[in-house]
A and B are shown apart, each in its own frame.
Chain A
C-alpha cells in the first residue's frame, strides 16, 4: 500500500466517523439549541473534516466545511441563533459532505457541484447585520517604502508621553514589517510581531493597531513605532526571524533625550476578547489504541479457525486409547474454542453502527410526511458479527420506513384515536441465547389484515378460498410475499418497488428470521432474529436414509423418541401432542425428496423426532437416527448450488465426509 492509499483509507474511515458524529450532534443540537457542548462538538467535528480534506487537497470539501464551520462559529459566539432553517442547512451540508466523499471514493475526485449551496451559506453568513465580515482589505495607499513615518505619526500628547518615558539610551525606531504574500493567519502573525516588538522595547504605536490586527483588518504591512535601547541591527534581525516576515525596514528618528527618566516597560495588556474555553468531555470519538484491520483478513482468519476445527474433529474421530492422546485432544479442544471465541469477538461490532443512522432518517421523513415521531433506540451496544451488520442496514431501514410511512398516523388522526400526537418507534437489539434479536415496534395504526387479504387476492397471490382458511398470522405473513405492497400508491418513502419480501430475503440469507406481529389500531412489531455468527455453529447430527445431516442447534427446541401409538391423525396429518400443543410430524426424507418409501417410521418402536422452532411455529421432524451434538463449520455450497430447497450449506465432519446442513426453517 503506498502512502497515498494509506492516507486515503484513513481519511475515508475517519471522515465517515466524523460525519456520523456530526449527524448525531446536529440532531441533538436541534433539540438543545443552546447547549454549548453540542455546538462545540459539531464545530470540532466539522473542523477536523476540514483539516483532513484540506490536507488531502479536496477543495470543495474544505470550502464546504469551512463555511459550515463559520456558521457554527457565529452560533457559538452567539451572533446567530439556532433555528430550524439553520439546522436544515447544516443537515444538507452534511449530505453534501457525504456526496463528495462518495465521489472521491468512487471516482477519485470531487464531482458534486456545491456552488449553490455555498452561496446559500454565504447568504446566511451575510444576512446577519451584526456580523462584521472578515475581509482582507487591500492596502489603501501604496506609500513609498522610504517614507512611511506618516503611517505612525504621533499626536502631540502621545509625543509628550513617550518622550517622557525615554532614557538617554533609547532610540525611536519607525519600523515597517512586510508580511509574505502567502502568509496564513495574518492576524496571528501580526499579533506575534507586536508581541515580539513589545519584548524588544516600548511599543509606542502601531498601524494597524492591535485591535485591527486581531480583526485581520490590514494589508501586507505593519508599521510600528518602537522605543528601544537596542541596536537597529538586532531589532531588524529579531523581527525578520519571525516566520512569514518578508522584509523589515527600519528608520531611526533623530530625537534623543538627555535626561534620564525611569522607564517603565509596560506590558501591553492584551485586549483579546477571551474566547470561551471548551469544556471537557462530550460524546465524541475517543481515540483509543486500536488497529484497523481489513475485514477480509478476519474472514480468512475465521476460515482458518474453521479448518482447524475440522481437523480437530477428525482427530477426535480417531479415538485412540491413550492418556496422552486424550490430553492432547482436550487441550486442542480448549484452544480451538478459545480461538474461535476470540476471532468472533474481534469480528463483533456494536449494532449502534447501523442504528445511529436512523434518527436522522426518522427526523427527515417525519418532517416530510408531517408526522411527529420519536425514535427510541435501545441496546445499541449489542454486538453482532461485522458481516451481518453491513447487510442489516437496508432491511432495517426498510422496516422503519414502513413504520413511518404506513404505521404511525398523522398527529390529528392519532389524537382522534385518543393516542398521543407524537408516535413512537422503538428500535431495540438484545442477545437471547445464541441469537441476536432486533425489534422495530411502533404504536401506529397496525396492519389491517383484511386489506392485506384483499390485496393478496387482487395480486393473485392467494385465492379467496385459501384466504378464508388462513389464520391471522398467515395473513400477516403475506406482506413478506414477493410482489406484495400494501401501499395504495408508490410513495417516495417506502414504496420503492421493493417490498417486505426483500427484507425477508436478506435476513434469511444471513441465516436469520423475520416475524411480524400487529394489532389493528395499537401498533406493529417486526422482529428479526439472527445467529451470533455465520461461520461456526453447534449442530445436531442426524442420519436420514444412511446419510449424515446437520441441524443447527439454534432452531431445535428439543428431541424426542416417540412411540407409534402416540401419533394421532388430524385431517390426514400425523401429529403428536406435546405439553398440550399439537405438533405436526414431517418426515425428513420426504421433505428432502429422497427416493425411498415413505412412512416406514410407523413400524419402528421408537421414532426419533427433532422438534424444530420456526418463529412461533413448531414442527416435529422425523429422522432415522440422532447421532451427537458437535460444532460445525458452515461452508456454502458454492454459487452453482444456491437456492437448493431445504439445504443451507455443508460441513465437513470428523471422518472427512461432507454432511449437508438442513435449512429447517423452510421445512417448518
Chain B
C-alpha cells in the first residue's frame, strides 16, 4: 500500500509542486494544510505516514507544528521544507524531532530520496 502523506505549506503553489513530486514517486496525498494549526488538526484526523512541513506559515509556524504533532504521536515522520536562509530554523525543527529536510526549490530526486530513506529504516 502506498504511504499516505500530509502536505503542509502556506503557498498553494508549493503544495502543488511537492504533491506532484510525491504522487509521481508513488505516494498518496491524503491532505493539505496551509497553516501549522490546520496541520495539527489534519494530522489527528488523518494519521498520515508522513508530513512534509513548511517552516514559515501564518497561524503557527512549522517548528511549533512539529512539536505539537510529535506530542500527539512521538513516532510521527516529518520532513521540513526549507528554503536557503532558514538554516537556524531547520536546525530547531530537527532538534524538535523532524526527521529530515528538503530544500526549495524542490528537486524531485532529492525529495524522493529523503522521503524513501525514512521508510527504509
Contacts and interface: CB of A to CB of B under 8 A. Distances in A.
Interface of A: 3, 7, 10-11, 14, 40-41, 43-44, 47-48, 50-52, 54-55, 57, 66, 69-70, 73, 184-185, 187-188, 191-192, 195, 214, 216, 241, 243, 270, 272-275, 277-278, 280-282, 284-287
A270 B114 CA distance: 24
Interface string B11-48: 11110110010000000000000110100000000000
Contacts of A185: 82, 84, 86-87, 90, 101, 103
A10 B16 contact: yes
Contacts of B100: 192, 243
Contacts of B60: 280
A287 B12 contact: yes
B83 A52 contact: no
B90 A188 contact: yes
Given A51-B104, A55-B14, A184-B103, 7 more contacts: A7-B17, A54-B105, A66-B85, A185-B87, A188-B90, A243-B100, A270-B91
Interface in B88-103: 88-92, 94-95, 100-101, 103
A126 to B, nearest CB: 16
Contacts, number: 116
A275 B11 CA distance: 23
24 contacts: A7-B13, A10-B12, A11-B13, A14-B11, A47-B56, A47-B86, A52-B11, A52-B13, A52-B14, A54-B83, A66-B85, A73-B85, A185-B101, A188-B90, A191-B94, A216-B87, A243-B114, A270-B95, A272-B88, A272-B91, A272-B92, A273-B88, A280-B37, A287-B12
Contacts of A7: 13, 16-17
A289 to B, nearest CB: 10
A280 B87 contact: no
A48 B34 CA distance: 12
Interface residues of B, number: 42
B1 to A, nearest CB: 24
Interface in B70-121: 82-92, 94-95, 100-101, 103-106, 110, 113-114, 117
Contacts of A282: 58
B50 interface: no
A482 B11 CA distance: 47
A68 B18 CA distance: 25
Nearest to A244: B110
The 6 closest A-B pairs by CB, nearest first: A287-B34, A54-B105, A184-B103, A55-B105, A188-B90, A51-B104
Given A185-B90, A281-B58, A51 B105 contact: yes
- From B20, B58, B117, residue with most partner A Cβ within 10 Å: B58
